[in-house]
């Protein structure tokens, strides 16, 4: 006989791990299923660090969700006793009329966020070489998250709240009947009253359930060794950063372990099959962009990468997230297309998806993402 659950969460990465935790906290009997063993290298969470910033240049509508997510990360830290969020500060810079700078200022003004312009003297204390004509802004309360540890911790907390997990198994079919939604893997058959589909780069597998299909981009992450280690280390006060350098947006993180300083290009990327295991260096234009950034703005870094990794962006057409309820069966809720900037929001998104299951409606804060 099939095991029966109040809800099954399919996909236990960035968002699914948080949904599982919230539903288990609420006392639901929940099962999480993942085709792999999260955290893993085939998702959007790979790479040991993710920015979290609050004066959000993408759109001011995201700021309330960010503040909610900040509270969620703090709750997860308290529950686990682990440090997940490094508040090292984030500096962001570019030409004064850059969409990056204008967007940050718009979000900060609307939501009364603390963003500090850095004068030339303050910039000289940082290990960057930035044009004097740029606007450079510091968010001292921002920083970065440890993504693999975040997912591992959310799943552990979900288990401690009573959730069950089934990893290394792919859901091959979902059947909807009047009483149950029935899920099949090669080894299991289970029944659920509700299903959440949070399958990231693999969301296109669920087109039949009206999940918004993403375009999946391969993104390269690089690490570089400092010529003088201390100035680039988080313990020396080096912040995380995001710069509009004209031809691209370059972001990065201070050294916090032997890997060195992480740099990557936020825009660009090559469309791929999400099932691809390709980990080769691949397109040299992303490396060239990062090396040009080093030459122009970070001469204290060695120009050849000491380490390289791949992550995947699951993109929507406009870069906004997508949340929805299946038109085929309203018992199926989905989240998709976090477009390379979703990780920091995970506790808030998890809470809102759980709320949709618990109360059968979306809260106002996420209505702009529903569709």
Q: Report pLDDT for 278.
A: 62
Backbone φ, ψ for residue 55 (5° rounding): -80, 85
Q: What is the pLDDT of residues 62-84, one digit of tens each?
A: 999 999 999 999 999 999 999 99
| 0.85 surpassed by pTM | yes
Torsion angle in degrees (nearest 10) through CA of 326, 331, 336, 341: 140
Q: What is the pLDDT of residues 257-296, one digit of tens each?
A: 999 999 999 999 999 998 876 656 555 679 999 999 999 9
Packing angle, helices 63-80 and 147-160, rounded to 10: 60
Residue 199 exposure: Cα atoms within 13 Å on the Cβ side = 26
> How would you class 164 by CB atoms within 10 Å of its CB: exposed for 0-12, middle for 13-18, buried for 19 or more?
middle
Q: How far apart are CA 185 and CA 187, in angstroms?
A: 5
User: What is the token pair recorded at 347?
Assistant: 């506790």
Closest CA to 253 of 229, 267, 234: 234
Closest CA to 198 of 353, 91, 360, 4: 353
Q: What is the pLDDT of residues 124-137, one digit of tens each?
A: 999 999 999 999 99
Contacts with 250 (C-beta within 8 Å, 6 or more apart), sequence order = 242, 243, 263, 264, 265, 266, 289, 290, 293
> Mind listing the domains of the chain with CATH numbers?
3-45+148-213+318-369 (3.50.50.60), 87-143+215-315 (3.30.9.10)
Edge-to-edge order in the sheet of strand 50-52: 50-52, 143-145, 85-86
Q: What is the pLDDT of residues 210-236, one digit of tens each?
A: 999 999 999 999 999 999 868 999 999
Residues 168, 37 contacting (CB under 8 angstroms):
yes
Q: How far apart are CA 197 and CA 191, in angstroms?
A: 15
Give alpha helix (H) positions in 61-181.
63-80, 99-111, 120-124, 147-160
Helix/strand/coil percent split, the chain, to 5: 30, 30, 40
Q: How far apart are CA 97 and CA 356, in angstroms?
A: 39
Tell me how far CA of residue 126 lies from CA of 231, 238, 361, in angstroms.
8, 7, 47
Q: What is the pLDDT of residues 154-183, one digit of tens each?
A: 999 999 999 999 999 999 999 999 999 999
313 beta partners: 217
Does the pLDDT of residue 253 top 70, yes or no?
Answer: yes
């Amino acid at each position: 006989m099939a095991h029966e659950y109040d809800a099954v969460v399919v996909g236990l990465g960035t968002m699914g791990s948080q949904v599982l935790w919230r539903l288990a906290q609420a006392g639901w009997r929940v099962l999480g299923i993942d085709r792999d063993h999260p955290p893993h290298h085939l998702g959007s969470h790979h790479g040991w660090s993710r920015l979290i910033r609050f004066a959000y240049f993408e759109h001011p509508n995201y700021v309330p969700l960010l503040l909610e997510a900040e509270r969620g990360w703090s709750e997860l830290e308290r529950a686990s006793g682990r440090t997940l969020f490094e508040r090292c500060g984030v500096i962001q810079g570019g030409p004064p009329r850059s969409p990056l700078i204008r967007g940050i200022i718009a979000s900060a003004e609307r939501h009364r966020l603390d963003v500090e312009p850095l004068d030339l003297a303050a910039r000289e204390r940082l290990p960057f070489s930035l044009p004097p004509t740029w606007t450079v802004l510091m968010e001292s309360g921002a920083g970065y998250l440890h993504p693999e540890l975040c997912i591992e911790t959310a799943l552990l907390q979900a288990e401690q709240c009573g959730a069950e997990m089934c990893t290394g198994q792919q859901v091959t079919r979902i059947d909807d009947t009047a009483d149950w939604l029935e899920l099949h893997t090669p080894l299991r058959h289970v029944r659920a009253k509700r299903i959440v589909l949070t399958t990231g780069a693999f969301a296109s597998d669920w087109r039949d359930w009206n999940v918004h299909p993403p375009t999946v981009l391969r993104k390269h992450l690089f690490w570089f060794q400092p010529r003088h280690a201390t100035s680039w280390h988080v313990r020396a006060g080096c912040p995380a950063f995001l710069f509009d350098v004209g031809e691209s947006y370059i972001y990065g993180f201070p050294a916090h372990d032997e890997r060195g300083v992480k740099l990557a290009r936020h825009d660009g990327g090559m469309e791929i099959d999400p099932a691809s295991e390709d980990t080769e260096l691949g397109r040299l234009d992303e490396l060239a962009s990062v090396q040009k950034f080093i030459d122009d703005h970070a001469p204290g870094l060695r120009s050849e990468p000491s380490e390289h990794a791949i992550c995947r962006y699951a993109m929507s057409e406009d870069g906004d997230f997508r949340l929805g309820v299946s038109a085929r069966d309203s018992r199926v809720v989905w989240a998709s297309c976090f477009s390379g900037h979703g990780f920091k929001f995970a506790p808030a998104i998890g809470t809102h998806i759980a709320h949709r299951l618990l109360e059968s409606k979306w809260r106002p804060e996420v209505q702009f993402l529903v569709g």
